[in-house]
């Protein structure tokens, strides 16, 4: 069954079928052709993951991020980032990276980050003399910070696959997220120094920074609120996601007063559409995982890796190489759902902590978001900057280097994924 499923899936992907449908068709065909499992199991396995209470956090976090990012707050976040780091060499690149960290704490989605921040900053960077392809490269690479800083949608998905704690994954993602932010800012400084790129002229100096802080504080407060509620056990992740929506509504209606019924309905419609895509992939991947489990593929591969590679560090290296290749062709959530069951078994065999595995997978597969041929944030940044995929990718090397160094640290230094 597994061989037939994988071959059919590859054929359907090459043919251009959306990944959710390709997963359903390939797994269903493998089950029906084998004839060993009742066909009703197909429907049951597709329906089963949609009843998961923790996964309810996904649409609510998406909605809270959409509510906050679609209004005046987005401009205020960019203004605060410019006041804080724009004065350094490669200033607008620094603003782009730091802004991604701020936006990531609101959206939890690299794609949303690249779209929202890119539409603001790429035209600004081009106007200030930055090469358009470089502006796109910085946007595409820095947007992956969002998948590490709470509320990260990919970490929620990994928790659903592995039964790891969402709260512990959120807490463990903070330090890698901060390190990635600092590393990418360092890369922007280097590129800015090498190419003599301009800084941002910020009026008011320290006084301007102090005045910009209260305007951005509502967005900065949200991830802190999420972490506090989870760390002290006050609310579950799903309950926190609902509170995040309420918080976003209160901010938009009482503080900024820029939320119309038309804007609200647009945000809800976008949330429904994105949730539908994510849940289809989750439901389809559950069917694929069932096929793999029936044929004991995860345990078989774990035994093979132990017998062949033996050393845990080599097995971790092999896992990273597989994820790098898969991440070049599959979107991050789908790759986590497909590889998760296999790598969880491998992690158990070598004593790798699930929280560390979750961060390792997230960082690794996030690199695929700005890597050709199928890089989602790369496509978005390329479209906004009006540059070809190849031109943007050629500007990526400093940011690839930083991301790969972080991946190595997360993979081999367990202390970086500490749990408070």
Q: What share of the chain is helix, strand, coil (3-state, %, to 5)?
A: 80, 0, 20
Tell me the two tokens of residue 413.
């230094």
Cβ atoms of 176 and 406 closer than 8 Å: yes
Three-state secondary-structure class, residue 80: helix
Cβ atoms of 58 and 274 closer than 8 Å: no
Side-chain half-sphere CA neighbours of 255 within 13 A: 17
Q: Whole-number mean pLDDT of the chain?
A: 85
Report the alpha-carbon distance of residue 398 to residue 219 in Å, rounded: 29
What is the pLDDT averaged over residues 48-63? 83
Tell me the two tokens of residue 19.
């990944």
SS (H, E, C) 298-309: HHHHHHHHHHHC
Tell me the two tokens of residue 240.
């926190």
Residue 115 binned pLDDT confidence (cut-offs 50, 70, 90): confident
Cβ atoms of 222 and 105 closer than 8 Å: yes
Q: Which residues contact 397 (CB under 8 A, 6 or more apart)?
A: none
Q: Is pLDDT at 217 greater than 70 in this prediction?
A: yes
Q: Indicate the range of 25-29, 36-40, 322-326, 344-348 predicted with least confidence.
A: 36-40
| pLDDT on residue 73 | 72
Selection from 183, 203, 187, 185 nearest residue 195 by Cα: 187
Q: Is pLDDT at 362 greater than 90 in this prediction?
A: yes
| pLDDT on residue 205 | 59
Report the alpha-carbon distance of residue 105 to residue 99 in Å, rounded: 10
Cα of first residue to Cα of last residue in the chain, in angstroms, is: 43
What is the pLDDT averaged over residues 263-277? 87
Q: Is pLDDT at 419 greater than 80 in this prediction?
A: no
Cβ atoms of 284 and 24 closer than 8 Å: yes
Q: Is pLDDT at 400 greater than 70 in this prediction?
A: yes
Q: Indicate the range of 46-60, 68-82, 162-176, 270-284 predicted with least confidence.
A: 68-82
Q: Is pLDDT at 411 greater than 80 in this prediction?
A: yes
Q: Is pLDDT at 279 greater than 80 in this prediction?
A: yes
Selection from 153, 139, 172 nearest residue 109 by Cα: 153
What is the pLDDT averaged over residues 289-307? 82
Report the alpha-carbon distance of residue 10 to residue 353 in Å, rounded: 31
pTM for the model stands at 0.86
Q: Indicate the range of 29-43, 204-218, 257-271 predicted with least confidence.
A: 204-218
**Maximum average pLDDT range among 117-131, 192-206, 250-264, 348-362:** 348-362
Tell me the two tokens of residue 308.
């062949």
- The owner of tokens 């069932």 is 290
Residue 318 binned pLDDT confidence (cut-offs 50, 70, 90): very high
Residue 56 binned pLDDT confidence (cut-offs 50, 70, 90): confident
| pLDDT on residue 187 | 93
What is the pLDDT averaged over residues 180-201? 88
Residue 190 binned pLDDT confidence (cut-offs 50, 70, 90): very high
Tell me the two tokens of residue 78.
């960019």
Cβ atoms of 271 and 56 closer than 8 Å: no
Selection from 402, 403, 318, 401 nearest residue 352 by Cα: 318
**Of 100 and 211, the one with more pLDDT:** 100
Report the alpha-carbon distance of residue 63 to residue 107 in Å, rounded: 9
**Of 182 and 418, the one with more pLDDT:** 182
| pLDDT on residue 201 | 67
DSSP structure class, residue 372: S
Q: Is pLDDT at 384 greater than 70 in this prediction?
A: yes
Q: What angle do CA 323, 106, 219 make, to 5 degrees?
A: 150
Kindly give the residue spans of alpha helices, DSSP state H, lying in 309-373.
312-327, 332-350, 354-367
Cβ atoms of 72 and 256 closer than 8 Å: yes
Q: Is pLDDT at 209 greater than 80 in this prediction?
A: no
What is the pLDDT averaged over residues 377-395? 89
Estimate to the nearest angstrom the gap between the alpha carbon of 326 and the chain centroid.
15
Q: What is the pLDDT of residues 16-54, one digit of tens each?
A: 788 788 888 888 888 888 777 777 777 888 888 777 788
Domain boundaries, the chain: 2-417
Tell me the two tokens of residue 291.
């096929």
Residue 420 binned pLDDT confidence (cut-offs 50, 70, 90): low
């Amino acid at each position: 069954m597994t061989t037939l499923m994988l071959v059919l899936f590859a054929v359907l992907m090459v043919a251009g079928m959306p990944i959710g449908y390709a997963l359903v068709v390939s797994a269903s065909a493998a089950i029906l052709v084998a004839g060993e499992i009742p066909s009703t199991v197909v429907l049951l396995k597709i329906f089963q993951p949609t009843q998961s209470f923790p996964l309810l956090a996904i649409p609510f976090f998406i909605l809270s991020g959409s509510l906050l990012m679609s209004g005046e707050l987005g401009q205020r976040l960019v203004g605060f980032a410019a006041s804080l780091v724009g004065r350094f060499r490669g200033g607008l690149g620094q603003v782009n990276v730091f802004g991604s960290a701020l936006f990531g704490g609101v959206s939890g989605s690299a794609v949303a980050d690249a779209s929202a921040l890119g539409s603001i900053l790429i035209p600004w960077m081009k106007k200030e003399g930055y090469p358009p392809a470089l502006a796109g490269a910085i946007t595409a690479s820095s947007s992956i910070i969002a998948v590490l800083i709470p509320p990260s949608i990919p970490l929620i998905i990994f928790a659903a696959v592995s039964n790891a704690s969402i709260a512990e994954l959120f807490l463990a993602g903070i330090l890698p997220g901060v390190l990635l932010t600092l590393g990418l800012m360092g890369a922007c400084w280097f590129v800015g120094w090498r190419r003599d790129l301009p800084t941002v002229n910020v009026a008011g100096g320290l006084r301007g920074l102090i005045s910009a802080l209260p305007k951005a504080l509502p967005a900065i407060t949200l991830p802190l609120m999420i972490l506090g509620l989870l760390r002290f056990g006050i609310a579950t992740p799903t309950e926190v996601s609902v509170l995040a929506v309420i918080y976003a509504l209160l901010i938009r209606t009482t503080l900024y007063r820029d939320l119309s019924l038309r804007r609200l309905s647009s945000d809800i419609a976008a949330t429904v559409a994105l949730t539908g895509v994510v849940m289809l992939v989750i439901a389809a991947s559950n069917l694929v995982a069932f096929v793999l489990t029936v044929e004991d593929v995860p345990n078989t591969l774990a035994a093979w890796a132990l017998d062949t590679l033996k050393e845990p560090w080599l097995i971790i290296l092999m896992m990273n190489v597989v994820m790098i290749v898969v991440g070049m062709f599959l979107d991050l959530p789908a790759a986590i759902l497909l590889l998760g069951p296999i790598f969880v078994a491998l992690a158990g065999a070598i004593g790798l902590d699930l929280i560390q595995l979750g961060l390792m997978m997230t960082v690794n597969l996030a690199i695929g978001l700005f890597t050709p041929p199928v890089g989602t944030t790369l496509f978005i940044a390329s479209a906004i900057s009006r540059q070809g995929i190849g031109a943007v990718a050629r500007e990526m090397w400093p940011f690839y280097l930083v991301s790969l160094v972080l991946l190595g640290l997360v993979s081999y230094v367990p202390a970086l994924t500490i749990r408070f």
